[in-house]
Chains A and B, each alone.
Chain A
Amino acid sequence: MESDIELMLRTKAGDDDAFSELMNRHYKGVLNYIYRFTNLKENSEDLAQEVFLRVYRSATKYRPEAKFTTWLYRIATNVSLTYVKKKNKNVSLDEMNEKTGEIEDSGVEISDDIIYRKEIKNVIFSAMESLPEREKVAIMLCKYEGLSYEETADVLECTVGAVKAYVHRGRMKLVNKLKPYLTEEGEYGV
């Protein structure tokens, strides 16, 4: 299998099929990354498309020293943060409703499990949103995108130790915020 770098170099040389292959590999990851920033599937599709457009546009400037995923997630992070900042600046009531209220598929029976999953999704989103950006980004990249600490450090342009600290602090804040959803006594309860 060709590496991402080889595909990107082919893209640079004008081979669009190579870029389609890169999208096949990474689009879903980027889409979900953005989705977890915004909690809105529709917008996430648009933003994921924007990320790949930006990558495609700058393909001519690509140099193989840069790891493709690092570069990709750096752009995705910038696009997401820009969107979130802009959105939070002019958040309207409609948008707030849109954020938490979702339209149900009529005629579909909703089980307790679906209700729980939906609730927990919104609760996790809110808890994540309350974290400082670097802690949020570090957790999302490590936990959800499966990036290594080293790769995450490259995205955030910081040390591996700093990434671990971000993840650690963020994780502890999430424990505090999501306590009602955790076992009160824990496995070793008193």
Chain B
Amino acid sequence: MECKDIKGILIQYSLGDLGQVEKVGVEKHLEECNECRLYLSQSNELWNLLDTWEEVEPDDNFISQFWDQASIDETKYKPGFLSQLRNFKLNWTLAGAMASIFLVSIITFAVFSPDTTNTLFTSADEQDELILIELDNALSRETADVLSIYGPWDNTLDVNGNGGMN
């Protein structure tokens, strides 16, 4: 294996994620290659360096602050009204299903409003999901950048986390 292949799988090597053949290949290469040894030790050093970013402590009264805010929130959002609205939506779904039984014999397709409501997330989360999709685009740009520095990642690191052997 060449240096760029080794660098592509060094972290899996540190994590013990490599198969026996690859592991031996990496170890043999590391014995002989100063550059890759430095690369590995700097990667481990970096991981420890991240620990120097210290934690912050929460305000002492974060729980009471929360409940104060929650009670303001409750009047603002009127959860009673919201649950009524949810029931209302549910009735609509039922009504829609019943109506479609009648309509399906007449019309070739019925118009369903797709139920995209993810019951786990609030409506704001749905908006936020778009952000994560945007992030993927940002990732490909950055990947292009890094290719020129470290070599072809995608060839050496597939999504199953297995490195390729030459």
Contact = CB atoms under 8 A, between A and B. Distances in A.
Please determine whether chains A and B interact with each other in the same assembly: yes
A163 to B, nearest CB: 9
A13 interface: no
Contact of A164 (B57, B125, B161): B161
B17 interface: yes
A168 B73 contact: no
A178 B62 CA distance: 35
Given A57-B122, A131-B142, A186 B65 contact: no
B13 to A, nearest CB: 11
B2 interface: no
B46 interface: yes
Given A53-B69, A117-B54, A121-B54, A63 B120 contact: yes
B66 A53 contact: yes
B27 interface: no
Nearest to B8: A168
Nearest to B142: A132
A36 to B, nearest CB: 7
Given A31-B58, A54-B122, A131-B142, A125 B43 contact: no
B66 A78 contact: no
Interface stretch (A88-96, A98-106, A152-160): A152-160
Interface in B17-66: 17, 34, 37-43, 45-47, 49-50, 52-59, 62-63, 65-66
A132 B125 contact: no
A63 B70 contact: no
B56 A41 contact: yes
A133 B50 CA distance: 17
Interface in A126-168: 131-135, 139, 143-144, 156-157, 159-162, 164-165, 167-168
A116 to B, nearest CB: 8
Contact of A132 (B53, B54, B65, B139): B139
A124 interface: yes
A16 B161 CA distance: 43
Nearest to B74: A57
A63 B43 contact: no
Contact of A71 (B11, B120, B136): B120
A35 B136 CA distance: 23
Given A53-B70, A169-B153, A178-B46, A85 B131 contact: yes
Contacts of A182: 42, 45-46, 49
Nearest to A176: B149
Interface in B107-151: 119-122, 124-125, 128-129, 131-132, 135-136, 138-139, 141-143, 146, 149-150
Interface of B: 7, 11-12, 15, 17, 34, 37-43, 45-47, 49-50, 52-59, 62-63, 65-67, 69-70, 73, 77, 79, 83, 119-122, 124-125, 128-129, 131-132, 135-136, 138-139, 141-143, 146, 149-150, 153, 157-161
6 contacts: A77-B132, A81-B128, A132-B141, A175-B43, A182-B45, A189-B34
